[in-house]
């Protein structure tokens, strides 16, 4: 498996909703000294119930983030992914199971009220739209992400199971 140091100073982290992207980004941020950027925070307006910003504002914030010299950016938002990958020096793909993602979503909405990557002033709550996204839409995205992973020509790591993710944390001495 590719080592974290080989991924360089600008890491793009992609994966299904509730796969652990925010937690991993924060752990890598602490270990590597890379600012963590959570795309959910750029896309949504703070102090709302996850209301999207205007698209032009999101794209402006995204552009500002990727122009920095160092970062780990977690989130999907594939309409801006090409720009992100164009600046990235490394790529990590998480691919935890749908059941794991669904469990993490319910856990975070019911019990974890101060989570990494959360929206400032926002409160997570169970939303049927999000459950549908995790259970239905994510299946298509997984195939797309897997194909994309194979075609990416920068140092990369794929963590396809919870066990692989745990092993990565341990091998890289990351604190979750």
Within-domain flag for 149? yes
pTM over 0.75: yes
pLDDT tens readout for residues 110-163: 777 666 676 676 677 778 888 888 888 877 888 888 899 999 999 999 999 989
Q: What confidence score (pLDDT) does residue 41 get?
A: 93
pLDDT of residue 116: 67
Query: What is the SS3 assignment for 155?
Result: coil
DSSP 87-99: H-SEEEEE---HH
Beta-bridge partners for 93: 14, 158
| Residue 48 pLDDT exceeds 70 | yes
**How many H-runs (helices) and E-runs (strands) does the chain carry?**
8, 5
Q: Rounded CA gap, 44 and 99, in Å?
A: 26
Identify whether 176 is part of a domain: no
Split into its structural domains, the chain has a count of: 1
The CATH number of residue 146's host domain is 3.40.50.300
> What is the residue range of 25's domain?
4-171
- Report the distance separating Cα 87 and Cα 69, nearest Å: 9
Residue 54 belongs to a domain = yes
């Amino acid at each position: 498996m590719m080592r974290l140091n080989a991924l360089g100073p600008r890491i793009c982290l992609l994966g299904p909703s509730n796969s652990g992207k925010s937690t991993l980004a924060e752990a890598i941020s602490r270990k590597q000294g890379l600012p963590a950027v959570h795309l959910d925070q750029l896309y949504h307006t703070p102090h709302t119930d996850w209301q999207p910003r205007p698209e032009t504002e999101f794209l402006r914030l995204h552009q500002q983030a990727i122009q920095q010299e160092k970062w780990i950016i977690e989130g999907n938002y594939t309409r801006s992914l090409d720009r992100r990958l164009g600046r990235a020096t490394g790529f990590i793909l998480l691919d935890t199971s749908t059941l794991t993602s669904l469990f993490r979503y319910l856990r975070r909405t019911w019990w974890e009220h101060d989570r990494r990557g959360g929206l400032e002033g926002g409160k997570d709550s169970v939303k049927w739209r999000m459950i549908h996204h995790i259970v239905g839409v994510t299946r298509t995205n997984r195939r797309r992400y897997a194909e994309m992973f194979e075609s990416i020509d920068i140092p990369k790591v794929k963590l396809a199971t919870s066990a692989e993710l745990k092993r990565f944390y341990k091998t890289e001495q990351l604190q979750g």
